[in-house]
Amino acid sequence: MTSRQARNIAFIALVLIAALIWVFPLYWALTTSLRSEARIVSDAGVLMDELNFTAYANVLATSQLPRWYLNSVGTSLIITATVLFTGMMCAYALSQLRFPGRKLLYLLIVASFMVPIPALYVAQFILMNDLGLVNSWAGIILPQLVVPVVIIVYKQFFDAIPHEMREAVLLDGGGEFTLLFKLYLPLNWGITAALAIITFISAWNNFFWPFLIATSESMMTIPVGITQVNDTFGIAYGRLMALALLAAAPVILAYLVFQKRVTEAVMISAGVKG
Amino acid sequence: MSSTRRKSRELRSAIILVLPFMVIFTVFFLYPTVKVVMLSFTNAPLIGEGEWVGLDNYVRLLSDRLFFTSLWNNLYFVLLTVIPTTVIALLIALAVSRLSGRLQALVLTLFFLPYVLPVSVVTLIWAWMLDFQFGILQPLISTLAGRPVAVFKDPNWVMPMIALVTVWWTNGFNVLLFIAGLRNIPKDLYEAAALDGATAWQRFWRVTWPLLWPITALVLTLQLILQLKLFDQVYLLSQGGPFNQSYVVLLQMYREAFQLNNGGYASALAMVLFAVIVILSVVQFQVLKIRGRK
């Protein structure tokens, strides 16, 4: 073995060790969740040497976790579908049609990036209260429907589609909706999937807004709900870690399955913001 | 004639296409934006009408010691997170980009994974890792401090530890951006530099660093804005304590609006955050652009 090869192997080993240290908190949460509470507080070592599912059974039986799942899945799906649907329509008009106020609308959308959304929460809460939507799915969903980055990304992709394809559809007697849903959207399934997955993840992970607007435990989403259990368990880290992992499982799975799309979406949306 | 008909058809389609987003954008974004500005000039409670009080809320801010503590803590947190996460992410990206194939994908996944977790999952896990009695990191802390430390109840440890948790959570995003940036640097530049006898160190400072600067500037700017919006981690880990050492502007806004029922004053706090974010990001962007040109 040459010294160069040896150096290379040492480098790979070093990077792998660093990566394993980086995910150690997740490994440790999993290990803890699979132990009995008595062993968790005894000096039991770092190896995953027990497969005890009591904590999981306990959490599912005593908390409203299934209800929070339902709230999170429901609100996140509705947010994702609405954001993409309204976003692609608006982006299509901005990209392909001429209408008065077009430049102003685009400018407003771009400028809205600068507004820190939490600064609007007081006003948004008052609005939701006026509409009678505090502690409801609609209350959780509505303010999260404004995701300008989706429009900007779609517009860039729509801008890039050659005009000849458009003319062909128009000659066949197709209208704007045929164009959008039969031509522009099918050509952009990839980016649609990427935007969908990242919109879903950020809706699922939003903490501050659902925390303000969901006032009863049965209306909470996963990230908010699991902080309530914290208060009722006292110190019971096995159950808390089981709860944390059950809460994280959907996004971890979504990420592992759609990894390439997530990476793509992060890179594209960050490029837009810069 | 046909061209006017075509134009009116185009206009009708445009209205139908734009309207759904326009309605949502106007009602749930533009209106609250205007409303929060207006509220900041009133003494309104959270729910109910208030009176116009002019600049009173802003004058009150100037003599509010808690506000200055919060603002200072926000800036301290920015200092603790922005540059460290940028450096760490760059190092990870440089290492990952030297790997290839499955191994690269695996390592990248491991480094990115925390980014997809909900914040409360992150704080639950780290509260356990750092638990005063049973936390697995306490031996390490004892070595550093000479004693076990309840880190989120200690005025000196609280902000650095929240920063550590935050960097762990959000760093993957920056790694991805750097990797995208590194992929865009043409390979032949490195080959040319190697032919000229440049060392690895020289190749980094002469080729990688200047060509990567736009991405570095982007990461710095996005992080600055993100970290100024700190609320979740503080609320979940330390609630602003101990002795207000982790109190931040958004936490104060939350307390004023939702616990003390001062909608007007909370809105003034929101406006300050808004202004700070706009000013800092404009200034930083300009500064970074100038440095990048050199």
Main-chain phi, psi angles of A175, to 5 degrees: -100, -170
**pLDDT tens digits, residue range A162-220?**
888 888 888 888 788 888 988 899 999 989 998 998 899 889 999 999 999 999 999 99
Q: Please name which of B31, B229, B119 lies closest in space to residue A210, comparing C-alpha atoms.
A: B119
DSSP 8-state code for residue A144 = G
pLDDT value for A271: 66
Distance CA B54, CA A246 (A): 50
Chains A and B: how many Cβ contacts under 8 Å? 248
Is the pLDDT confidence value at A31 over 90?
Answer: yes
pLDDT over 90 percentage in chain B: 66
Residues 6+ apart with CB under 8 A from A164: none
Is B200 an interface residue toward A (CB < 8 Å)? Answer: no
Q: At A250, is the pLDDT very low, low, confident or very high (cuts 50, 70, 90)? A: confident
B interface test, pick of A105, A112, A126 with most B CB neighbours within 10 Å: A126
**pLDDT tens digits, residue range B93-142?**
999 998 988 999 999 999 999 999 999 999 999 999 999 888 999 999 99
**pLDDT tens digits, residue range B250-274?**
999 999 999 999 999 999 999 999 9
Contact between A34 and A53 under an 8 Å Cβ cutoff? The reply is yes
Q: At A49, is the pLDDT very low, low, confident or very high (cuts 50, 70, 90)? A: confident
Is B56 an interface residue toward A (CB < 8 Å)? Answer: no
Tell me the mean pLDDT in the region A6-28. 94
Is the pLDDT confidence value at B1 over 50?
Answer: no
Is B46 an interface residue toward A (CB < 8 Å)? Answer: yes
Distance CA A73, CA A160 (A): 34
> Which residues of chain A does B111 touch, with a Cβ-Cβ cutoff of 8 Å?
19, 22
> Which residues of chain A does B173 touch, with a Cβ-Cβ cutoff of 8 Å?
266, 270
pLDDT over 90 percentage in chain A: 55
B32:A120 CB<8 A: yes
3-state secondary structure chain B: CHHHHHHHHHHHHHHHHHHHHHHHHHHHHHHHHHHHHHHCCECCCCCCCCCECCCHHHHHHHCCHHHHHHHHHHHHHHHHHHHHHHHHHHHHHHHHHHCCHHHHHHHHHHHHHHHHCCHHHHHHHHHHHCCCCCCCCHHHHHHHHCCCCCHHHCCCCHHHHHHHHHHHHHHHHHHHHHHHHHHCCCHHHHHHHHHCCCCHHHHHHHHHHHHHHHHHHHHHHHHHHHHHCCCHHHHHHCCCCCCCCCCCHHHHHHHHHHHCCCHHHHHHHHHHHHHHHHHHHHHHHHHHHHHHHC
CA distance B156 to chain A (A): 23
Tell me the mean pLDDT in the region A115-120. 93
Is the pLDDT confidence value at B73 over 90?
Answer: yes
Q: At A4, is the pLDDT very low, low, confident or very high (cuts 50, 70, 90)? A: confident
Contact between B50 and B44 under an 8 Å Cβ cutoff? The reply is yes
> Which residues of chain B does A97 touch, with a Cβ-Cβ cutoff of 8 Å?
10, 13-14, 17
Distance set, CA B196 to CA A5, B202, B204, B209, B251 (Å):
23, 11, 14, 18, 55
A129:B47 CB<8 A: yes
Per DSSP, the three-state class of A268 is helix
> Which residues of chain A does B110 touch, with a Cβ-Cβ cutoff of 8 Å?
19-20, 22-23
State the amino acid at position B187 in one-letter form: K
Contact between A32 and A40 under an 8 Å Cβ cutoff? The reply is yes
DSSP 8-state code for residue A74 = H
Is the pLDDT confidence value at A1 over 80?
Answer: no
pLDDT value for A112: 86
Partner residue opposite A86 with nearest CB, options B20, B99, B271: B20
> Which residues of chain A does B126 touch, with a Cβ-Cβ cutoff of 8 Å?
25
> Which residues of chain A does B92 touch, with a Cβ-Cβ cutoff of 8 Å?
18
B28:A142 CB<8 A: yes
Please tell me the least confidently modeled range out of A67-76, A79-88, A104-113, B74-83: A104-113
DSSP 8-state code for residue A117 = G
Q: Where are the beta strands (DSSP E) in chain A?
A: none
Q: Which residue ranges form the domains of chain B, and what is each CATH number?
A: 65-293 (1.10.3720.10)
End-to-end CA distance of chain A: 46
> Which residues of chain A does B130 touch, with a Cβ-Cβ cutoff of 8 Å?
none
| Token pair 């980016």: residue | A191
Tell me the mean pLDDT in the region B195-211. 87
Is B26 an interface residue toward A (CB < 8 Å)? Answer: no
Is the pLDDT confidence value at A151 over 80?
Answer: yes
Is the pLDDT confidence value at B280 over 80?
Answer: no
Please tell me the least confidently modeled range out of A195-199, B1-5, B10-14, B21-25: B1-5
Partner residue opposite A19 with nearest CB, options B111, B116, B218: B111
Q: At B9, is the pLDDT very low, low, confident or very high (cuts 50, 70, 90)? A: confident
**pLDDT tens digits, residue range B208-242?**
999 998 889 889 888 988 999 999 999 999 998 79
Q: At B294, is the pLDDT very low, low, confident or very high (cuts 50, 70, 90)? A: very low
Interface pTM, i.e. ipTM: 0.91
A interface test, pick of B109, B128, B183, B231 with most A CB neighbours within 10 Å: B128
pLDDT value for B2: 65
Contact between B117 and B165 under an 8 Å Cβ cutoff? The reply is no
pLDDT value for B293: 54
pLDDT value for B290: 66
Please tell me the least confidently modeled range out of A17-26, A77-86, A137-146, B174-183: B174-183
CA distance A201 to chain B (A): 7
Tell me: cis bond preceding A100? Omega within 30 of 0 counts: no
